[in-house]
Amino acid sequence: MSAPILILTEVALGPSERAAVEKLLGDGGTPLEVLVPAGRKRRLVVDFLDHLSMLEFGKAVDGLTDRGPDAETARSTAAAALADSLAALEGLGSPVTGSVVEGDPVLALADRASSSSAEQAVVVTLPHAVEDTFHTDWANQAQRRLGIPVLHLYAGTGFIGDS
Protein backbone atom coordinates (compact mmCIF):
# COMPACT_ATOMS: atom_id res chain seq x y z
CA MET A 1 0.00 0.00 0.00
CA SER A 2 1.27 3.49 -0.82
CA ALA A 3 2.01 6.19 1.75
CA PRO A 4 -1.02 8.28 2.74
CA ILE A 5 -1.66 11.90 1.93
CA LEU A 6 -2.29 13.67 5.23
CA ILE A 7 -4.81 16.50 5.35
CA LEU A 8 -4.84 18.91 8.29
CA THR A 9 -7.87 21.18 8.24
CA GLU A 10 -9.38 23.72 10.60
CA VAL A 11 -12.77 23.61 8.83
CA ALA A 12 -14.91 21.01 7.08
CA LEU A 13 -13.64 20.22 3.59
CA GLY A 14 -15.88 21.15 0.69
CA PRO A 15 -16.02 20.86 -3.11
CA SER A 16 -12.98 23.05 -3.82
CA GLU A 17 -10.79 21.03 -1.45
CA ARG A 18 -12.14 17.77 -2.92
CA ALA A 19 -11.15 18.95 -6.40
CA ALA A 20 -7.61 19.82 -5.24
CA VAL A 21 -7.17 16.48 -3.48
CA GLU A 22 -8.54 14.64 -6.52
CA LYS A 23 -5.79 16.23 -8.64
CA LEU A 24 -3.17 14.99 -6.17
CA LEU A 25 -4.48 11.43 -6.29
CA GLY A 26 -4.09 10.82 -9.99
CA ASP A 27 -5.24 7.22 -10.51
CA GLY A 28 -6.49 6.91 -6.94
CA GLY A 29 -5.71 4.20 -4.45
CA THR A 30 -3.55 6.47 -2.29
CA PRO A 31 -4.96 6.50 1.24
CA LEU A 32 -6.17 9.83 2.61
CA GLU A 33 -6.09 10.70 6.29
CA VAL A 34 -7.85 13.80 7.60
CA LEU A 35 -6.81 15.43 10.88
CA VAL A 36 -9.06 18.03 12.50
CA PRO A 37 -7.85 19.81 15.64
CA ALA A 38 -10.21 20.20 18.58
CA GLY A 39 -10.12 23.94 19.11
CA ARG A 40 -7.54 26.51 18.17
CA LYS A 41 -5.17 28.26 20.51
CA ARG A 42 -6.35 31.86 20.73
CA ARG A 43 -3.91 34.69 20.24
CA LEU A 44 -5.91 37.78 21.02
CA VAL A 45 -3.83 40.40 19.20
CA VAL A 46 -3.19 38.24 16.13
CA ASP A 47 -6.88 37.27 15.87
CA PHE A 48 -7.88 40.92 16.26
CA LEU A 49 -5.48 42.02 13.48
CA ASP A 50 -6.61 39.13 11.24
CA HIS A 51 -10.22 40.27 11.49
CA LEU A 52 -9.29 43.92 10.89
CA SER A 53 -7.25 43.01 7.81
CA MET A 54 -10.26 41.14 6.39
CA LEU A 55 -12.47 44.18 7.18
CA GLU A 56 -14.42 42.09 9.70
CA PHE A 57 -14.80 44.90 12.22
CA GLY A 58 -17.64 43.28 14.18
CA LYS A 59 -15.71 40.02 14.57
CA ALA A 60 -12.61 41.95 15.61
CA VAL A 61 -14.46 43.69 18.44
CA ASP A 62 -16.40 40.55 19.44
CA GLY A 63 -13.15 38.58 19.59
CA LEU A 64 -11.82 40.85 22.32
CA THR A 65 -14.45 39.60 24.78
CA ASP A 66 -15.21 36.11 23.41
CA ARG A 67 -13.50 33.37 25.39
CA GLY A 68 -14.13 30.79 22.66
CA PRO A 69 -15.83 27.43 23.04
CA ASP A 70 -15.29 25.10 25.98
CA ALA A 71 -13.32 21.88 25.40
CA GLU A 72 -16.41 19.69 24.90
CA THR A 73 -17.92 22.09 22.35
CA ALA A 74 -14.58 22.34 20.54
CA ARG A 75 -14.34 18.53 20.28
CA SER A 76 -17.94 18.29 19.09
CA THR A 77 -17.34 20.96 16.43
CA ALA A 78 -14.17 19.18 15.30
CA ALA A 79 -15.97 15.83 15.12
CA ALA A 80 -18.68 17.39 12.94
CA ALA A 81 -16.04 18.96 10.66
CA LEU A 82 -14.31 15.58 10.42
CA ALA A 83 -17.54 13.78 9.48
CA ASP A 84 -18.32 16.40 6.81
CA SER A 85 -14.74 16.21 5.49
CA LEU A 86 -14.81 12.42 5.22
CA ALA A 87 -18.14 12.66 3.38
CA ALA A 88 -16.69 15.28 1.00
CA LEU A 89 -13.83 12.93 0.05
CA GLU A 90 -15.93 9.80 -0.44
CA GLY A 91 -16.01 8.32 -3.91
CA LEU A 92 -12.50 9.36 -4.95
CA GLY A 93 -11.38 5.74 -5.23
CA SER A 94 -9.09 6.03 -2.22
CA PRO A 95 -9.57 4.83 1.34
CA VAL A 96 -10.34 7.78 3.61
CA THR A 97 -9.87 7.85 7.38
CA GLY A 98 -9.58 10.62 9.91
CA SER A 99 -9.37 11.67 13.51
CA VAL A 100 -9.81 14.61 15.82
CA VAL A 101 -6.45 15.66 17.29
CA GLU A 102 -5.73 17.41 20.56
CA GLY A 103 -2.99 19.93 21.29
CA ASP A 104 -0.70 21.47 18.68
CA PRO A 105 -2.12 20.55 15.26
CA VAL A 106 1.21 20.86 13.44
CA LEU A 107 2.90 18.60 15.97
CA ALA A 108 0.06 16.07 15.57
CA LEU A 109 0.54 16.24 11.79
CA ALA A 110 4.29 15.73 12.15
CA ASP A 111 3.80 12.75 14.48
CA ARG A 112 1.34 11.16 12.08
CA ALA A 113 3.61 11.86 9.08
CA SER A 114 6.55 10.10 10.71
CA SER A 115 4.51 7.11 11.89
CA SER A 116 2.81 6.63 8.51
CA SER A 117 5.77 7.49 6.25
CA ALA A 118 3.58 10.05 4.47
CA GLU A 119 5.19 11.67 1.44
CA GLN A 120 2.94 14.72 1.17
CA ALA A 121 0.51 16.78 3.21
CA VAL A 122 -2.28 19.25 2.59
CA VAL A 123 -3.08 22.01 5.07
CA VAL A 124 -6.48 23.70 4.71
CA THR A 125 -7.03 26.95 6.60
CA LEU A 126 -9.09 30.06 6.51
CA PRO A 127 -7.08 33.13 5.54
CA HIS A 128 -5.06 34.42 8.49
CA ALA A 129 -3.43 37.62 7.28
CA VAL A 130 -0.89 38.04 10.06
CA GLU A 131 0.25 34.40 10.14
CA ASP A 132 0.32 34.14 6.35
CA THR A 133 2.31 37.35 5.99
CA PHE A 134 4.92 36.35 8.55
CA HIS A 135 4.94 32.67 7.48
CA THR A 136 3.86 31.43 10.90
CA ASP A 137 0.71 29.71 9.61
CA TRP A 138 0.20 25.95 9.93
CA ALA A 139 1.33 25.24 6.36
CA ASN A 140 4.65 27.03 6.78
CA GLN A 141 5.23 25.44 10.17
CA ALA A 142 4.46 22.01 8.68
CA GLN A 143 6.77 22.62 5.72
CA ARG A 144 9.65 23.41 8.07
CA ARG A 145 8.92 20.54 10.45
CA LEU A 146 7.94 17.70 8.10
CA GLY A 147 10.48 17.86 5.30
CA ILE A 148 7.86 16.70 2.78
CA PRO A 149 5.83 18.72 0.27
CA VAL A 150 2.98 20.64 1.92
CA LEU A 151 0.16 22.13 -0.15
CA HIS A 152 -1.61 25.06 1.53
CA LEU A 153 -5.24 25.57 0.49
CA TYR A 154 -7.48 28.39 1.62
CA ALA A 155 -10.81 26.86 2.62
CA GLY A 156 -13.65 27.28 0.17
CA THR A 157 -11.65 29.24 -2.38
CA GLY A 158 -9.56 26.78 -4.34
CA PHE A 159 -6.73 29.27 -3.83
CA ILE A 160 -3.31 27.78 -3.08
CA GLY A 161 -1.31 29.62 -0.45
CA ASP A 162 2.41 30.27 -0.28
CA SER A 163 4.12 27.77 2.02
127 located within any domain: yes
pLDDT band at 6; cut points 50, 70, 90 = very high
How many domains does one find in the chain?
Answer: 1
CA distance 145 to 104: 13
| pLDDT in the model for residue 130 | 59
- Report if residue 63 sits inside a domain: no
Contact yes or no for 13/89 (Cβ under 8 A): yes
In a domain, 90, yes or no: yes
Pairing of strands 120-125, 96-101: unpaired
Question: Hey, how many other C-beta atoms are within 10 angstroms of the C-beta on 55?
Answer: 8
Looking up residue 89, the CATH number of its domain turns out to be: 3.40.50.620
Q: Looking at the whole model, is its pTM more than 0.75?
A: yes
Is-contact 13 87, C-beta < 8 A? no
Amino acid, res. 86: L
Range of the domain at 26: 5-40+70-154
pLDDT tens digits along 129-159: 556 656 667 788 898 898 889 999 988 876 6
Q: How far apart are CA 20 and CA 101, in angstroms?
A: 23
